[in-house]
Chain A
Amino acid sequence: MPLSAQHVPRLPAAALELAARRALEGRRGGRHRSPFHGSAVEFSDHRAYQAGDDLRHMDWRILARRDQMLTRRYREERSLPVVLLLDSSASMDWGDPSKLQHATICLAALGLLALTQGDEVRIAAGANAVAAIAEPLCGEGSTSEMCRRLAAASAGPGDPARIVSSCAAHLPRRHLLVVASDLLDSDPAELARAFGAAHARGHECAVLQILTRAEIDLPAAWGACAISDPEGRTTAFACDAGAAKRAYDLAIRAHVDACARACAAARADHRLAVSDEPAAATIGRWLATRRARR
């Protein structure tokens, strides 16, 4: 799918900010909290003076009052390391616009925002997403490259829980992992385990669950159908949409709720998006919600 920087909605960086809820380990200096101490303006704590410490950081006032040599420490602000994980399984390539298109644009918009903020963005997409994690992109000049990497995601079977687990283990530092997937074939328990493991490794996870309108509200007008699974996991079967609507709608609602509960249990952020809504609105509302909860 061709995706260029012109197609990516530009989110208002002044109003919206992609930020992590926990201190992550960006490689470059930036505007986000990090677990590192260094020269910065935000005071962190004191520690006993050690030989070799820069005397500029000596707290002279305490030395004068208490005759105690303490060195002032400052929290270092670094860039936000973001990994955009795109589920490009066959089930995502369905709907008009397809969930894959919507997910790609949403992630691209998010990536663009991060690049605008000076953060580093990694793309993990396609059948072998973990192996495809490349060097991080930095600066707005990398927008086109980001789009290219997202659009080049190859279709193939992909289990979001497994991909997240692999990424979390593979990444050497703490990252913000943003997953865009329909989670239709995901087991909520598996999701909870994968996101829990990633959280334990210091990562922060966020999930954009993208579904089409028809998947949320089964159209009764479809009538009798011979249903087949695009991923081939379920044997084709006959079904009357009118008769099945009520049961299905309850089931999909329960599944979405279960996914949300699994994410919450693993302290991961969960957001349900409908593919026919504008990507900017989807991401904008999500970021606004994150900001309000922060």
Chain B
Amino acid sequence: MIAFLLPAAIGLAGLAVAPVVIHWLTRQRARPLAFPAAGLLARATGGLARVKRLREHIVLLLRVLALALAALAAAGPLMSGFGTSARPVAIVLDASCSMRQVSDGSTAFSRGRAAAARLAEALSPRPLVALVAGATTLRSSPVLESGAGAAKALLAEAQPGYGDGDLAGAIAQAVRLLSGSGDIFVVSDGSRSALSGVDTGHLPDGVRLHLVDAGGGGANHGVVSISVEPGVAVAGRPLLWRARIANYSVVDAVIPVRFACGPASRAVDLPVPAGGSALVELTITPPDAGWLTASVEIPAGDALVEDDRRDAAVQVVPALEAVVAGDGSRSDAAGALRPLVAGLTAAGFHVRLADGAALAAGASQGATLVATAGLASRDAESALAAHMAGGGTWLHVLVSDADALIRPGGAIPPTEPGPRADLASDGRSPLLIARARMEHPLFEPFAGREPLLSEISAMRLRLTPQGAAGGADVLATWADGSVAVGERRIGTGRWLILNISTAGVDTTLARSEAWPLLCGRIAAQCAAPRREDAATPVGSSILLPWLHDPSGERLDAHDGRLRPDHPGLWRGNAGRAVAVAVPASESDLRRIGGVNASTRSADDVLAEAERRPLWPWLLALAVVCLIAEILVAGAVRTVKP
């Protein structure tokens, strides 16, 4: 049986009569002529005329055939009924939050799951595997199997998540399971978030991707972010909340919004343009330190209710906190800690002292800066990594041999410290800071006062070979080329390495006027000006041992990480609050344009997948006809009697 992808294109077959019409219109009209040598002429050319007429008819036939075949090929004929393909199949079901959207009384997920089940049933004779791209996990039936028992069971128990299903990852996994050959059916609502990152152009040649439409694409409003300014909330200082409300519909809307933060609340009717967003602001001054939460709500009634409420949480600190740890047993005036503490205190930090064990136990919680100098052990590596992952700054002062060995989270250190050199005992002159990148924000206070930096001299330091900065941004160097100050971004945090010991026996930093200025600048940089979203997206990794979800159920960490799988206000120890929200991208239910959006119903896709395309053959046949026509027509034109 033959079906057509573009049946209307069959009408183009009418063009096939064009050569006949052209031939008829342009044919040579024979004029009557009496010729005495007609007998001779007839005997001389009789056979030739017959051959020429035959060739002309063949040329005409070939032209008609070529056009008719090309028109048929344009109609995209598909032939079925020649047996079922044995190509393996992978069914990928989108379980992202956008699949929770409701239209026509059912969710896109329920429709998609039914379509996936229908596909699994229809394609069960073929080796089949199913994958569910959920919020936090990618679940897959074990292996390619005939009968699709495990796949059907997986699909039957699948539930939609609250996060952004990783369809691109699921497709990549499906390609691996199919070993480079087979059909992948992606059942999705076709929203922008679902199909972002899916690049059909990079699939192997043997893999065909079929997008199955689960329906949806309705109008939606959502709270997509709650930002806070400043990024570090300090008790007694004003805090500005900003909630962004998006209108993913084709008409402008006035959206009622209720904003609440502790005792303060605000209700507004917010005009939001179609396809745009608007902000709602609320200012509050937290009186005490502790955890402060906020929530923004818009009334339900659109396609997706999960994004109509968003919680946010920030920790209010009494002041900018710094934890200073290390220096082993040396706490005398010549040690490194005392000048460090003094400098940070002078810069406005509330300084707490700790050692490596205390850091490992969580002493850095709530601190925006952790400074270590002469840390005797590597116990605090995980804590330092978590601190930086949470946006904190680690001031790493290289004093002892152990300092050089600390590798937070196994990361490459920003510099590779070389051997420690005692210049004075070696009879060498102290080194001076030779070069500093004065345009860097860290050295902003030294603008016009460069000698303050260049006067710092080192008697003992680690000689770091030039170029061994390990990806760090070298901000200043000693006269021999060793790194003096380096910086590297680790996640959202910062690793600031200081190869200038604060100990008086090592360098003149502590006695220099540059030190208070440097500490002040570090303090200013530690207080983030703004935090873009005070909520964590569902499925994100949180470095906490456990949390209670909004219903009070406890979730324990695996491998030191927690992945909350639904939105709401989660609680930890000591009153810690973690706001978990639907990813902002899931609110946009509009269909993506372009190639990836050519989704069709399961029946259509199934029919297409089971049919063999005939058009390449027809096109090839048309080309053959065309070539034959050129050859025969050439022979007609060059025919020699």
Contact = CB atoms under 8 A, between A and B. Distances in A.
Task: Answer yes or no: are A and B bound together in one complex.
Answer: yes
Interface of A: 91-92, 94, 99, 182, 184-185, 215, 218, 222-231, 233-240, 243-248, 250-252, 255
Q: Which of A250, A251, A255 has the most CB of B within 10 A?
A: A251
A248 B43 CA distance: 9
B41 A230 contact: no
Given A94-B34, A223-B28, A224-B31, A240 B39 contact: no
A226 B32 contact: yes
B52 interface: yes
Nearest to A251: B44
A193 B48 CA distance: 33
Contact of A94 (B31, B36, B39): B36
A67 B641 CA distance: 80
A237 B32 CA distance: 9
Given A237-B42, A243-B639, A252 B37 contact: yes
Interface of B: 28-46, 48-49, 52, 639-641
A230 B34 contact: yes
Contacts of A240: 28, 49, 52
A200 B171 CA distance: 108
Given A227-B33, A233-B38, A239-B45, 4 more contacts: A184-B36, A184-B39, A225-B30, A248-B45
Contacts of A236: 32, 38
Nearest to A232: B38
Contacts of B42: 227, 234-235, 237, 239
Nearest to B41: A248
Given A222-B33, A227-B35, A244 B41 contact: yes
Q: Which 10 A-B pairs have the closest CB atoms?
A: A247-B641, A91-B36, A244-B45, A224-B28, A229-B38, A251-B44, A247-B44, A226-B30, A224-B30, A225-B33
A234 B45 CA distance: 13
A243 B39 contact: no
Nearest to B31: A225
B39 A234 contact: yes
A228 B31 CA distance: 11
Contact of B48 (A92, A231, A247): A247
Nearest to A90: B36
26 contacts: A94-B34, A184-B37, A184-B40, A222-B33, A223-B28, A224-B28, A225-B32, A227-B35, A227-B42, A228-B35, A229-B35, A229-B38, A236-B32, A238-B49, A239-B30, A239-B41, A240-B28, A243-B48, A243-B52, A243-B639, A244-B41, A244-B44, A246-B640, A248-B41, A251-B43, A252-B40
A250 B639 contact: no
Contacts of A99: 36
B25 to A, nearest CB: 15
A51 B566 CA distance: 165
Nearest to A95: B36
A231 B37 CA distance: 10
Given A94-B34, A224-B29, A238-B30, A229 B641 contact: no
B237 to A, nearest CB: 102
Nearest to B52: A243
Contacts of A222: 33
B31 to A, nearest CB: 6
Contacts of B48: 243-244, 247
B40 A229 contact: no
A252 B43 CA distance: 11
A240 B50 CA distance: 11
A250 B44 CA distance: 9
Contacts of B35: 94, 215, 225, 227-230
Contacts of B639: 243
Instruction: Pick the most buried of B39, B45, B48: most chain A CB atoms within 10 A of its CB.
Output: B45
A233 B39 contact: yes
Contacts of A227: 33-35, 38, 41-42
A229 B52 contact: no
A119 B181 CA distance: 108
B40 A248 contact: yes
Contact of A228 (B33, B44, B52, B640): B33
Question: Counting chain B CB atoms within 10 Å of each CB, which of A92, A229, A245 scores highest?
Answer: A229
Contacts of A182: 36
Contacts of B640: 246
Nearest to B36: A91
Given A224-B28, A238-B30, A246-B641, A229 B39 contact: yes
Contact of A244 (B30, B33, B49): B49
Given A228-B32, A246-B641, A215 B37 contact: yes
Contacts of B34: 94, 227-230
B38 to A, nearest CB: 4
A91 B37 CA distance: 8
Nearest to A244: B45
B357 to A, nearest CB: 107
A94 B641 CA distance: 27
A35 B39 CA distance: 44
Nearest to A246: B641
A218 B41 CA distance: 10
Contacts of A224: 28-31
A251 B40 CA distance: 7
A228 B38 contact: yes
Contacts of A239: 30, 41-42, 45, 49
A185 B40 CA distance: 9
Contacts of B28: 223-224, 240
A144 to B, nearest CB: 31
Nearest to B45: A244
Contacts of A223: 28, 31
Given A223-B28, A244-B41, A248-B41, A229 B33 contact: no
B36 A230 contact: yes
Given A244-B641, A247-B44, A229 B36 contact: yes
A226 B45 contact: no
Task: Identify the interface centre among A182, A185, A227, A238: most chain B CB within 10 Å of its CB.
Answer: A227
B74 to A, nearest CB: 36
A244 B35 CA distance: 14
Nearest to A93: B36
B54 to A, nearest CB: 14
B36 to A, nearest CB: 4
Nearest to B39: A234
B639 to A, nearest CB: 7
Contacts of A234: 38-39, 42
Interface-central residue, A184, A225, A236, by most chain B CB under 10 Å: A225
Nearest to B43: A251
A227 B41 CA distance: 9
The winner among B33, B36, B38 for most chain A CB atoms within 10 A is: B36
Contacts of A247: 44-45, 48, 641
Contacts of A185: 39
A238 B42 CA distance: 9
A182 B31 CA distance: 25
Nearest to A233: B39
A22 B41 CA distance: 39
Contacts of A218: 41
Given A237-B42, A243-B639, A226 B33 contact: yes
A206 to B, nearest CB: 22
A116 to B, nearest CB: 33
A246 B639 CA distance: 11
A200 to B, nearest CB: 30
Nearest to A216: B37
A111 B152 CA distance: 116
Contacts of B30: 224-226, 238-239
B641 A243 contact: yes
Nearest to B640: A246
A149 to B, nearest CB: 24
Contact of B44 (A91, A230, A248): A248
Nearest to B28: A224
Nearest to A223: B28
Contacts of A255: 40
A220 B41 CA distance: 13
